[in-house]
Amino acid sequence: MEFLRKLGIEGTNHGTSTGQESLGDGSQQMIESATPIDGSHIAEVSVTTREQYDQVVTTAQDAFNEWRETPAPKRGEIVRQIGLKLREHKEDLGKLVTYEMGKILQEGLGEVQEMIDICDFAVGQSRQLYGKTMQSERPQHRMYEQWHPLGPTGIITAFNFPVAVWSWNAMIAAVCGDVMIWKPSEKVPLCAVAVQNIVSEVLRENDLPEGIFNLVTGDKEVGEWMTNDERLPLISATGSIRMGKQVAQTVGARLGKTILELGGNNAIIVSENADLEMAARATVFGSVGTCGQRCTTTRRLIVQDTIFEDFKNRLVQLYKGVKIGNPLNDDTLVGPLVDGKAAESMQQALTEVQDSGGELVYGGELLEGNNLEVEGGHYVQPAIVVAKHDYPIVQEETFAPILYLIKYSDLDEAIAMHNSVRQGLSSAMFTLNLREAETFLSTRGSDCGIANINVGTSGAEIGGAFGGEKETGGGRESGSDAWKAYMRRQTNTINWGKEMPLAQGIEFDVD
Ligand code: NAD
């Protein structure tokens, strides 16, 4: 296929950036990448061995010595060039994201646009790695703080954002002076190989060491080499809460730093004072977009009792109009789930919620071979279920398009239900009432990292700090001052006088 060729993807590909694997002679373990669209084979990627991993870390350490001495605006210039190269490859890379992960083409292209946006942001950031100046209590002393790069940074990413999440981390960390070792999800290794090809080209064109951006491939075993590795002072990990708990414990045991971006269980509160048309449209995008496989997917809808029936019917009508099918087709809004396991866990969750007393009011069917133009993928009809907030399954993140409708009568009750889950990523309220909106955003309102008014839970912009609280892990990536997590802070005091006064006025005279 032409787009694969243009991205440098071959039948068998190096999954390790040092490129030392001998491919094709059977000596190297390979991952097969198949498309969720119809299950057909795309290409193979080699799995990094322990020896190759150690070589990558050594290469990264060497590159760090050069990169950290490169002025930050010059590092920004490299990121600017990566942004330009991504613009050239937007169509092809967006298509690969759709092909390998299964999200619709609009979202595949959107993901690459997000990479381009974060490059632009990081270029500006490269001239704004500000430290503060403090007033010293001692005469003729100057105090200030400065930020230094941390070192080789491990980036572990999830399958559902195969390229954008890497860029949120890597582009900011790059201008901060860190070098990166990326372990993508084993479900989408080709996207990572394509991105690696793009950045390597920019490094080569600028005579810079390739070890600034590194790639390793494999399952959780490779991830565990990274989390246990004292040579990596920071691990930024995106994925399930189960994974995050393991990463936090391993990295914490060696007192390393983590940025954790874990699962969500996001809700929208819809008040009787909302613009219901806007609320319904935002709900549908939030709940069925990416086939319910976004960390910010709307999973719970907490609707005021006075409008509950009307709003439920409105949603069912909109759901009926959602075209499910091949994600490469222009009119498709919902593509396949990533694999059979995801379809199974959706079916299990639907059984469980109905056993608890929930009422399935729409969807939930498996559509394999069922009036679709494609066969072989795991296509499902997004589901709407009337439920109670305290059903055990409603408290969990099921990574599939199930929307639980929950009734409330007053706002305090709605907020209590909203905050009753263990996750704390994204949240929203639809209302045109100022008091309700401000209550939702106040200290007794949403407990999430992201809280919106009249904007749904998914589709964040890169300019804000992205991340969530509680079991979502507390990490922040992307915009605002998230860059600080990729650097170490140093406080400096300089005495330019002829005396040696001590802080707090302590006298300590030595004759
Ligand atoms: P996953 O946890 O199965 O895997 C994520 C990554 O972690 C993979 O690269 C995997 O190989 C690696 N991994 C797994 N166990 C590990 C371990 N013990 N040590 C080191 N690495 C390990 O997640 P997934 O199924 O790929 O992605 C879906 C999940 O990711 C959902 O829960 C979703 O909400 C979450 N997610 C969160 C965000 C966010 O920003 N908060 C963004 C995207 C996805």
Q: Would you say the CB of residue 32 lies under 6 angstroms from ligand 1?
A: no
Protein residue whose Cα sits closest to atom 41 of ligand 1: 261
Distance 194 CA to ligand 1 centre (A): 20
The gap between the terminal CA atoms of the chain, to the nearest Å, is 82
Ligand 1 atom closest to residue 468's alpha carbon, by position in its atom list: 41
How is 445-471 classified by DSSP, letter by letter?
A: S--SSEEEESS-SS---TTSEE--EET
DSSP state of 337: B
Residue 381 to residue 336: CA distance in whole angstroms? 10
Q: Stretch 25-45: mean pLDDT, rounded?
A: 95
At the fourth CATH level, the homologous superfamily of domain 266-461 is Aldehyde Dehydrogenase; Chain A, domain 2 (3.40.309.10)
Residues 37-76: tens digit of each pLDDT: 999 999 999 999 999 999 999 999 999 999 999 999 999 9
Give me the pLDDT at residue 410, please: 97
The answer to whether residues 302 and 413 touch, using CB atoms and an 8 Å cutoff, is no
Provide the CATH topology of domain 2-262+473-490: Aldehyde Dehydrogenase; Chain A, domain 1 (3.40.605)
Residue 83 to residue 322: CA distance in whole angstroms? 34
The answer to whether residues 48 and 216 touch, using CB atoms and an 8 Å cutoff, is yes
Q: Around Cβ 19, how many Cβ atoms within 10 Å? A: 13
Nearest CA to 303 among 423, 388, 364, 419?
Answer: 388
- Which residue did the predictor score with more confidence, 295 or 27? 295
Q: Would you say the CB of residue 233 lies under 6 angstroms from ligand 1?
A: no
Give whole-number Cα distances, 220 to 25, 158, 216, in Å. 25, 11, 12
Q: Would you say the CB of residue 9 lies under 6 angstroms from ligand 1?
A: no
Whole-number average pLDDT of the chain:
97
Q: Stretch 138-162: mean pLDDT, rounded?
A: 98
Residue 456 to residue 442: CA distance in whole angstroms? 18
- The residue whose CB lies within 8 Å of the most ligand 1 atoms, and thus the one to mutate among 101, 160, 299, is 160
Ligand 1 atom closest to residue 263's alpha carbon, by position in its atom list: 34
Residues 398-457: tens digit of each pLDDT: 999 999 999 999 999 999 999 999 999 999 999 999 999 999 999 999 999 999 999 999
In terms of DSSP bridges, do strands 359-362 and 383-386 run parallel, antiparallel, or are they unpaired? antiparallel
Give me the pLDDT at residue 134, please: 97
Give whole-number Cα distances, 406 to 57, 123, 318, 437, in Å. 49, 44, 18, 19
Helix (H) or strand (E) holding 490, with range, is: strand 487-495
Q: Stretch 85-109: mean pLDDT, rounded?
A: 98
Q: What is the largest CA-CA distance in the chain?
A: 94
Ligand 1 atom closest to residue 246's alpha carbon, by position in its atom list: 18
Catalytic member of 21, 295, 397, 471: 295
Task: Calculate helix-pair angle for 189-205, 164-176, nearest 10 degrees.
Answer: 30
Residues in the chain: 511
The answer to whether residues 173 and 486 touch, using CB atoms and an 8 Å cutoff, is yes
Kindly tell me if the per-residue pLDDT of 510 is higher than 90: no
Q: Would you say the CB of residue 224 lies under 6 angstroms from ligand 1?
A: yes
Query: Which pLDDT band holds residue 290 (cuts at 50, 70, 90)?
Result: very high
Residues 338-394: tens digit of each pLDDT: 999 999 999 999 999 999 999 999 999 999 765 677 889 999 999 999 999 999 999
Give me the pLDDT at residue 372, please: 78
Give me the pLDDT at residue 377, please: 94
The model's pTM is: 0.98
The yes-or-no answer on residue 191 being catalytic is no
Q: Would you say the CB of residue 245 lies under 6 angstroms from ligand 1?
A: no
The yes-or-no answer on residue 210 being catalytic is no
Q: Would you say the CB of residue 159 lies under 6 angstroms from ligand 1?
A: yes
Q: Which sequence spans correspond to the domains of the chain?
A: 2-262+473-490, 266-461
Question: What share of the chain in percent tops pLDDT 90?
Answer: 96
Give me the pLDDT at residue 256, please: 98
Catalytic member of 44, 111, 261, 397: 261
Give me the pLDDT at residue 369, please: 66
Protein residue whose Cα sits closest to atom 40 of ligand 1: 261
Residue 427 to residue 313: CA distance in whole angstroms? 23
Task: Calculate helix-pair angle for 105-125, 90-101, nearest 10 degrees.
Answer: 120
Q: Would you say the CB of residue 160 lies under 6 angstroms from ligand 1?
A: yes
